[in-house]
Chains A and B, each alone.
Chain A
Amino acid sequence: MSIAYSPDGAEVGKTALTNGLSYFAAGDVALDSSTASNGQSACGRDGLISVPVAVVPVGVAFNLGEIRSLQLNGSLLSGILQGKITKWNDPELAAANPGVPLPSIDVVPILEKSPSDVTRAVNKYLATEAPGSWPDSSGSEWPSGTVRANEDKVTDVARKVDDTQGAITVLDTAIIGSRFSVARLQFGGVYQDFGNESTMAAIAAGETVQSVPRVVEQRLDGSKGYALAVLENQYFCTRYGNDATASLVRSWGESVLSRQGQRDAVVYSSSLPPSEPTTAAALKQVRAITSDKR
């Protein structure tokens, strides 16, 4: 079996799946009820399945030379991304970082132009943590009022942060690695460290939600760990045209959600597994995939 990856975005993937032109699709948003019931001609009467398969932490990376530790809350991050906080020694920043010798240099936010799942995660975080100053947006593009995003590719963003004293950006953990200093973020009044262990704690304490039939969601609990992350989902049909395809897709879904699959994901893409209850609920949905010929 071979899998052809098409980096076209989740919307294209979902459309392809509901048109019967893809066997599964991936995206960073759990399907809503109307989308999940779509695609009945290609996917059978029950439409689509949506399950979480990975959690990818998102960090606020910065370049302040020797200064490695920084604390930000939603309001400060929103002020920085909207260009309202322009100096690192801004009094509000200093108040949040007692004892940190913040320099009097410009804050240089560097953002990716194209829509991305990281941007969507940050939008959601700020809409929750800075409700007064950040628009209630969960889109994958930066809302109006954000500083100008200049970089075409995320690799360009990373390079520019490396090259620019005072730079700050948001990146996923695979790119951050050990290359950048990353800020602690505040969730519901509690500062949490960026890191796998902290996010694992947020995942473990997070709820498994199934408010829409055949849609499983993983929530992250910010009071227990670092909860700014991209939630990767995969979408499947409930039914396929023949046994062979249904069996292959089922086997793919089971493989992705298996312990080995999740371990591979950690190694190769630095993503973390959903919680055990969430994985069990997801597996139940995947194992129910069937074919028209049954």
Chain B
Amino acid sequence: MPARTASGSSAWTLFGKLFLLIFSAVSLWSLATPLMAVPDEPAHTIKAAAVVRGQITIEEGTSFGHGVHVRVPAYIANLHAQDCYKFRPDTAANCAPVIPSDANDEAIGVTSAGSYNPMYYWIVGLPSLVLTGQPALFAMRILSALLSAAFYSAGFTALAQLRQARIPVLMASLAVTPMVLFLAAGINPNSLEIAATMAAFCGFVVTLDNAHRVRHVLPAVITVIASTIVLANTRQVSLVWLLCALIAGVLLFRGTEIKAAFRSRLVLTGAAFTVPGVLLGIYWIYLMLHAPANSGVAPEGIANPQPGVSIYRAFLTMVEKAPEFVQQYIGVMGWLDTPVPMAVVMFWSTVFVVAVLLPLLIKPFKTTLGAWAALAMLIVVPAILQASIWKSMGFVWQGRYNLPLVVVLLIAVGMTARRVHFPQSAGAQSVARVVLWAAAFCHLLAFAFVLRRYVVGTFGGGNWHAMINGVQWQPPLGWFLLTLMYLAVVVTAASWLFRLLFPGAVLVQLRRTLSRG
């Protein structure tokens, strides 16, 4: 029997639709953002090109100075040169040198991602074997966007199979902040990590929610298996996010449901499927722990050791800084040089405040444990991880690293509130319309603002008119068409979400007189 979702369509159909929608949104971000404007994108692109050319592990004598040295086509080796606008939001992207299509001679590239698991790079690097120049790099981005879109779609599809799906799906949708989409658009495994953690968590909670009829939610089980294997082979820290997601998931359900789920032959078979993949990921971690170390002294800026700071102090500093990361969860694009407008920050800050306070309204307390655990892990786990490397590497933590846990937190809150009656009155629909239009507007504003930053530079703000008469850089298809397409995508997303929340109702209500005319 095919799995059905809350909206009634088959899971595979829903997955297909969602995939098209999310992939469209992410690829628009891929086109709108100049190549190499996503954090550490040159390093990850060089790594991807090296991995598909067989340079997978760190060989003796290859790691020194700024990172691991590899041999890749010159147009990729020289991508670090695309940094003229890095940390300079007033500078348009046209300052960057042209990425040539004929510079295919082998050259030396340096990557700081040398120790990362090669799986993501094996896939994303493939276009560089058949294309060259900008087309190759855009194709690499698009391939990365495909991966992320697949996992986000799988996560949403799984959530739609919940018995009470409305609030979890709503919260999951709000968890897709502009920053989440921006990161998914670039070449950086951070994107896949967020998407796979989201998918793993969603699949896991749906499996537990259907513990006594797991067979009916087979896509959710498959999602957990695939996400687990991918997370084990993305970044070394990804397994920690997976563990956090599983802990939060378990705490959202009663012991009887958890026992039932883990007695299911399907679940046990699924768990067995993940074992080789997880072991492979652990083996890679083992390999890298024993890989040749950097054979020199890393230049300043690559490592800023703080040997004098106690781990305890470093931990507390991170805990204290936890709220400061919220803006980075919402949108600090580029190389952390392009914060989205304050209106966008305010909207999602409100979402976060509501998310954190909502469990206080839900009784009994034990049903909210998963949400509280997710919140605690969001604050404590990054603090532990950063504190452990503070002495050797200094303060290197960024908000985007936490996004897998942020997404888990928002969905966990949605799960906690899933049994709350969701009103279907006209008033409730009006409130939902306002919220969804606001969300769509904020997404669009963030998108247009980031485009402005690259098309003309921000120059302290207020120069939207320059997008018409002072264009300095244009993305493929031009900024105007991209913005229109993005508008269509976000309105479609809001409409679908509205229809899920209020079956039979529509987000865009044309007046009867108009429709009659």
| A interface residue numbers (CB < 8 A to B) | 2, 4-9, 12, 15-16, 19-23, 241-242, 244-245
Q: Which of B61, B107, B110 contacts A245 (CB 8 A)?
A: B107
Question: In the complex the two chains form, what is the Cα distance from A2 to B84 in whole Å?
Answer: 12
B352 within 8 A of A: no
Please report the C-alpha to C-alpha distance between residue A108 and residue B68 in the assembled complex, in whole angstroms: 42
Instruction: Flag if B108 contacts A7 (CB, 8 Å).
Output: no
Which listed residue, A9, A15, A241, touches B61 by the CB 8 Å rule?
A15
Contact A8 B295 (CB under 8 A): yes
Q: Tell me if B64 is interfacial: C-beta within 8 Å of chain A.
A: yes
B74 touching A244, Cβ below 8 Å: yes
Of the A-B pairs whose beta carbons lie under 8 Å apart in the complex, a sample of 27, sorted by A's number, is A4-B65, A4-B66, A5-B65, A6-B64, A6-B65, A7-B296, A8-B64, A8-B296, A8-B297, A12-B295, A12-B296, A16-B61, A16-B64, A16-B69, A19-B61, A19-B62, A21-B61, A21-B69, A21-B71, A22-B69, A241-B105, A241-B106, A242-B105, A244-B103, A244-B105, A245-B105, A245-B107
Complex interface: chain A residues within 8 A of B435 (CB) = none
Selected contact of A8 from candidates B65, B71, B74, B108, CB within 8 Å: B65
Bound-complex Cα distance A99 to B69 (A): 59
Q: Mark B276-301, 1 if CB is under 8 A from A, else 0.
A: 00000000000000000001110100
Q: Is the interface of A mostly helix, strand, loop or mixed?
A: loop
What is the bound-complex CA distance between A23 and B69, given in angstroms?
12
* B485 close to A (CB within 8 Å): no
- Chain B residue nearest to A19 (CB atoms) is B61
> Min CB distance, A192 to chain B, in Å?
34
Residue numbers in A under 8 Å from B66 (CB-CB): 4, 6
Interface residues of B (CB under 8 A from A): 61-62, 64-66, 69-71, 74, 80-81, 103, 105-108, 110, 295-297, 299
CB distance from B49 to the nearest CB of A (A): 15
Q: State the CA gap A4–B109 with chains docked (Å).
A: 11
**Closest Cβ–Cβ distance, residue A6 to chain B (whole Å):** 2
Q: Which residues of A contact B64 (CB under 8 A)?
A: 6, 8, 12, 16
Going nearest first, the 3 A-B pairs with the smallest beta carbon separation are: A8-B296, A6-B65, A21-B69
Q: In the complex, what distance in Å separates the CA atom of A241 from the CA atom of B73?
A: 12
| B294 and chain A: residue at smallest CB distance | A8
A6 CA to B110 CA in the complex, in Å?
11
Complex Cα gap A8–B294 (Å): 9
Give the CA-CA distance A4 to B108 in the complex, in Å.
11
Chain A residues within an 8 Å CB radius of B105: 241-242, 244-245
Chain B nearest CB: distance from A231 CB in Å? 21
Chain A residues with CB under 8 A of B74: 244
Q: How far, in angstroms, from A12 to B293 measured CA to CA in the complex?
A: 12
Q: Give every chain B residue within 8 A of A15 (Cβ-Cβ).
A: 61, 295
Interface centre among B70, B71, B108, B299 (most CB of A within 10 A): B108
